[in-house]
Amino acid sequence: TRYSPSGSSTMRTRCCFTVSEYLVDVGFGLANPYLPLRMDQNTASADNPYVLRPLEASDYWRPGTLELCVRGREDWVPLYRLEVDDHYWFDTKVFNWYMSTNRDSVMQRLLMVGRSDGDTRLTLFNGSFRRRLRHAGYDALEKREITDVDELLSVLQNEFRLRLCPEKDVEPLRERLSSLLQGSGGK
């Protein structure tokens, strides 16, 4: 079964294992879950800052809808809702084309990268780099505003382990990142 936020073109896959069902969401690199979540994960734990809350049926969503929330500083912060829907390849083809090619799409205007490695969570939103540790409650231990294209390329390759081909990838990416940083105040 595939889940998707209402009106969204982004698919989530629900995997059925022998013991239980899990939500696996690779997301776009920000607050998305970095680990598989049990579909019945409705209580918090020290190792998991996410919960899936069942919602009462309403005019806005159907019975069985779940809301994925992440632990905030004071309360739970909703990330998105999941509804049980069947999806076919043609359901997402136009949406995926729009998201990847239209200049008004958020995927054309923003750089969003995330990586989890053990207790460390790295995020990059345009030029805002954050390193967080799970045992520190995910408060940012390192915050850095990146304004230089070479530094941004270095962070992508070294921190996020992005493998770039020097002959094919670096120069086109340098141009794109330069315009992105200029749009957000960098150089």
Give the DSSP H/E element, type plus range, for residue 182.
helix 170-183
CA–CA separation, 51 and 33 (whole Å):
10
Inter-residue contact 53 to 67 (CB < 8 Å)? yes
* The predicted structure's pLDDT at residue 12: 63
Could you give the CA distance from residue 53 to residue 65 in angstroms, rounded to a whole number? 9
**pTM summary value:** 0.64
- Given a cut of 60, whether residue 170 has pLDDT beyond it is yes
Domains of the chain, earliest start first = 2-87 (2.40.128.150), 110-183 (3.30.2140.10)
Under the banding of pLDDT at 50, 70 and 90, the label for residue 1 is: very low
Q: Does residue 10 surpass a pLDDT of 70?
A: no
pLDDT, greater one: 56 or 12: 56
pLDDT digits (tens, 9 = 90+) for 106-158: 878 888 888 888 778 888 999 999 988 766 555 668 899 999 999 999 999 99
| pLDDT tens figures, 19-58 | 678 888 766 556 677 778 888 877 777 777 888 888 888 8
- pLDDT over 70 percentage in the chain: 80
Q: Is 80 helix (H, G, I), strand (E, B) or coil?
A: strand
Name the pLDDT band for 92 (thresholds 50, 70, 90).
Answer: confident
Question: Distance between CA atoms of 51 and 171, rounded to whole angstroms?
Answer: 42
From 25-29, 132-136, 174-178, 182-186, the region with the lowest mean pLDDT: 25-29
Residue pair 37/50 in contact (Cβ under 8 Å)? The answer is yes
CA 128 to CA 134: how far, in whole Å?
Answer: 19
Does 4 score more than 80 pLDDT?
no
